[in-house]
Structure 1
Amino acid sequence: MGEFLNAAIRALIGFTILLLFTRLTGKKQLSQMTIFTYITGITLGSMIGEMVIHGGVEFMEEIEAMVLWGAFSFIVEYVGLKIPFMRVVLDSEPAIVIKHGEIQVKELRKMRLNMDDLTMLLREKDVFTIRDVWYAILEPHGELSIVKKAAKQSVLMEDIGLQPQDPSYLPGELITDGTLIRKNLLEFGKTEAWLIQELSKRGITSIKQVFYAELSEDDTLFIQKK
């Protein structure tokens, strides 16, 4: 029983430290993960796993090491925010891998990329031929930003003299699995009476009959019944 309690305490402490770390590092850890933040997260996770599974008499020392590791990570991130040079050292700089439609071979070699890697990154941006690309920039977190050649760019409405109105809100769900999302209803400036009236136009007598309902930015309602 004592061993089980000790394991539960170690797991709870490890979970708490990891949760605090992920919350304090913000969304960059997920959406803009650099090599540094990736290694930092992996190392901390490994340390916590070792503590939880193999915890022993050095329990307090292990906690201290994890707290210090997290603190060092925050300090380095803070320094990177304040000092541009350190930001370059930690996260590196964007690299132009296609310039004026020409592949920059030296940059590719510097980034340890081959042509298969480059074409794969282009396909992820729905570009299937290098001939369509005017500029391609490899960002520090590994994603590719591209500027297509003028002849290959999408036509904007303003290019053909149209001036559409910007949407008042983003599309959002009003009903999910028969449950009304009141928060979104208020956000869109709608009432439950309005929604019931709209449902009745589709022959629906109860919100419970609806699996999913979404209000689009053009004020139209998408409804799928159960």
Structure 2
Amino acid sequence: MDHIILTGLRTILAFLIMMVIARILGKSTISQMTYHDFVAAITLGAFTANIAFNTTISLRQLLTAFLMFGGIAFLLMIVALRSRPLRKWISGQPTILIQDGKIMESNMRKLKITLDTLNQELREKFIFNIEEVHYAVLELNGRVSVLRKPEYLPVTRKDMNIPAGPRTSFPIELIMDGKTIEDNFQQNGITKEWLVSQAKVRGLALDSVNYAVISSNGHLFFDSYEDRIQHPVDQE
């Protein structure tokens, strides 16, 4: 029983430390996953597993190694931010896969990317004809960015000399999971009385609302707990 309790406590400690390290390294590390981030994530994961389950190694040694490696990863991130030459070595650099409509076979061989993989990446961007591509670049995070040839670019309002539409803004969430978000009320000068009146116009009571948001187009949207759908899809 003592062994189970010790394992549980070590697991909780490992999780909390990993959360702190992830916070320190920041969102960009999680979303981009460059070479350095990939190595750091795998190694920190191994340290976390050992802290939780490997009782043959002292907790002090594991924590020391874990914190030192986390510190190294953080320092490398700072160095990469401040030095472009070192950033190329630490994080790598984008690689061109298609240039001026021509496939760069040497770069693809170097990166071990097949034409099947390239076509899949293009299809995920709704490009089914490779002849439409002017440039394709493999970014540091492993994603492919694409620039279409001018004749295949979508038409914009500016191209058609059409005046810009109504100004859009970031959506303002007012109720989520049935609870009002007070900070958003205060920051945007919105009162709860106004929201109650708007819900009443739609035949809703505020306590029956699951989600309420002012959309980017300025429209107020309500979603109530009662869906009023006679035959919901995929209900078990």
Q: Does the pair score TM above 0.5?
A: yes
Residues 185 and 58 from structure 1, CA distance in 2 versus in 1: closer, same or farther, beyond 3 angstroms?
closer
**TM-score in terms of structure 1 length:** 0.88
Quote the residue 1:208 is aligned against. 207
2 CA distance for matches of 1:12 and 1:175? 32
Residues 60 and 104 from structure 1, CA distance in 2 versus in 1: closer, same or farther, beyond 3 angstroms?
same
2 CA distance for matches of 1:209 and 1:71? 48
User: Equivalent residues in 2 for 1:179-218 (5 A)?
Assistant: 179-204=179-204, 206-218=205-217
2 CA distance for matches of 1:183 and 1:60? 42
SS at match of 1:21: helix
Q: Which amino acid aligns with 2:128?
A: F
**TM-aligned CA deviation for residue 12 of structure 1:** 3.9
User: Equivalent residues in 2 for 1:1-226 (5 A)?
Assistant: 2-56=2-56, 58-161=58-161, 162-167=163-168, 169-204=169-204, 206-225=205-224, 226=226
Q: Give the root-mean-square deviation of aligned CA atoms.
A: 2.1
Alignment check: 8 A CA contact 1:176 1:212 kept: yes
Alignment check: 8 A CA contact 1:175 1:207 kept: no
**TM-aligned CA deviation for residue 153 of structure 1:** 1.4
Alignment check: 8 A CA contact 1:11 1:52 kept: yes
Deviation string, structure 1 residues 110-151 (Cα, Å, up to 9, x no partner): 111001111111122222221221111110110111111112
SS at match of 2:159: helix
Deviation string, structure 1 residues 36-80 (Cα, Å, up to 9, x no partner): 212211111112212321223533222221122112222222222
1 CA distance for matches of 2:30 and 2:176? 27
Alignment check: 8 A CA contact 1:177 1:208 kept: no
Aligned length: 224
SS at match of 1:173: strand
Q: Which amino acid aligns with 1:123?
A: R
Alignment check: 8 A CA contact 1:180 1:207 kept: no
Deviates further, 170-179 or 1-10: 1-10
SS at match of 1:190: coil
Residues 147 and 202 from structure 1, CA distance in 2 versus in 1: closer, same or farther, beyond 3 angstroms?
same
Which segments of 5 or more consecutive residues in structure 1 lack a partner in the other structure? none
2 CA distance for matches of 1:101 and 1:108? 15
SS at match of 2:200: helix
Alignment check: 8 A CA contact 1:177 1:211 kept: yes
**TM-aligned CA deviation for residue 177 of structure 1:** 4.2
Q: Which amino acid aligns with 1:163?
A: A
Deviation string, structure 1 residues 191-219 (Cα, Å, up to 9, x no partner): 22222222222222x11232332211222
Q: Which amino acid aligns with 2:180?
A: L
SS at match of 1:90: helix
**TM-aligned CA deviation for residue 4 of structure 1:** 4.5
2 CA distance for matches of 1:78 and 1:120? 35
Which segments of 5 or more consecutive residues in structure 2 lack a partner in the other structure? 227-236
SS at match of 1:159: coil
Percent sequence identity over matched residues? 29
Deviates further, 11-20 or 96-105: 11-20
2 CA distance for matches of 1:189 and 1:67? 44
Deviation string, structure 1 residues 1-29 (Cα, Å, up to 9, x no partner): 65345434433432232122111110122
2 CA distance for matches of 1:211 and 1:16? 31
Alignment check: 8 A CA contact 2:97 2:138 kept: yes
1 CA distance for matches of 2:102 and 2:175? 50
2 CA distance for matches of 1:57 and 1:137? 45
